[in-house]
Amino acid sequence: MRHVLVLNGPNLRRLGTREPDVYGVQTFADLEALCRETGRRLSLHVDVRQTDDEAEMIRWVHEAADSRLPIVINPAAFTHYSYALRDALAQRTAPLVEVHISNPAAREEFRHNSVVAGVADGTIAGFGLYSYVLALQAVAEMLAREEAR
């Protein structure tokens, strides 16, 4: 069973109470359960993490690069300005999918730019928590293609 990190940036632990009109009413615990259940169906061991600390996020990304672990990442606010996170993600050694609950392109202009998108295999956004399901499916497919080579 392949290990996958699902990394979440600032404020995502507040799902369910933070702007429910944008992010929905499901909680972070609901997100964790959804990711783990999706992982089980896809034969992936999913480790879901959240931090409000940029340095901790970067340490997790380095851990993934050193261990050749795939990443699904919702950088949250780090998406728009963290060149340090982007540089860490550029060192990846396994599939990387950027994910967003809302559609940043349909929101305020400052949310339109992702500094991490250019180093990801792809971005999935706007499908609520289901964005994570799609991202994990994409990772599973990329891993299967790698193993078939």
User: Is 3 assigned a catalytic role?
Assistant: no
Query: Does 11 belong to an annotated binding site?
Result: no
Gap between the Cα atoms of 88 and 22, Å rounded: 29
Residue written as tokens 């998406």?
79
Query: Does 102 belong to an annotated binding site?
Result: yes
User: Is 23 assigned a catalytic role?
Assistant: yes
CA distances from 149 to 4, 49, 97, 106 (A): 20, 31, 21, 38
Select which of 45, 81, 83, 100 is catalytic: 100
Query: Does 80 belong to an annotated binding site?
Result: yes
Query: Does 111 belong to an annotated binding site?
Result: yes
Q: Which of 80, 3, 88 is nearest to 49 (CA)?
A: 3
List active site positions.
23, 100
Residue list, annotated binding site for substrate: 74, 80, 87, 101-102, 111
Residues flagged as binding site: 74, 80, 87, 101-102, 111
